Amino acid sequence: MFAGIPFVGEALLCNLTVFGCGMNCGWEVPLGAHLKLRLLLPDHASSLAVEIAAVRWTHGMYAGLEFLDLPRESRNRLQSFVLNEFSRTLNAIGRSR
């Protein structure tokens, strides 16, 4: 979920990192816009807050976001989530060989 001036919407995230992500929201988000995000991750029941994310690139309905302001709790949770997913992927690749 995201909010900016003058819009509110939902998007599907891709390429999530501790620095930002890509998103597809079904419409064009203005380049340079600043958004407030609530990320729904599969690891937890509560959403993860991103206070400020900047739209750094757009391509039609896709946009690349840079996280500019994450509360400490959100940053710690995001780092843990990304590390766990990376480890899980590496283990799956190792088992398939």
Tokens representing 2 are: 């995201």
35, β-bridge pairs: 53
Find out whether 15 and 21 touch, Cβ atoms under 8 Å: yes
Q: How far is CA 19 from CA 26, 39, 45, 57, 71, in A?
A: 23, 14, 22, 14, 13
Q: Whole-prediction pTM value?
A: 0.86
* 69-94 confidence digits (pLDDT tens): 999 999 999 999 999 988 888 888 88
Alpha helices in 1-97 (DSSP H): 72-95
* 46-69 confidence digits (pLDDT tens): 899 999 999 999 999 999 999 999
Q: Give the number of other Cβ atoms within 10 Å of residue 60's Cβ.
A: 8
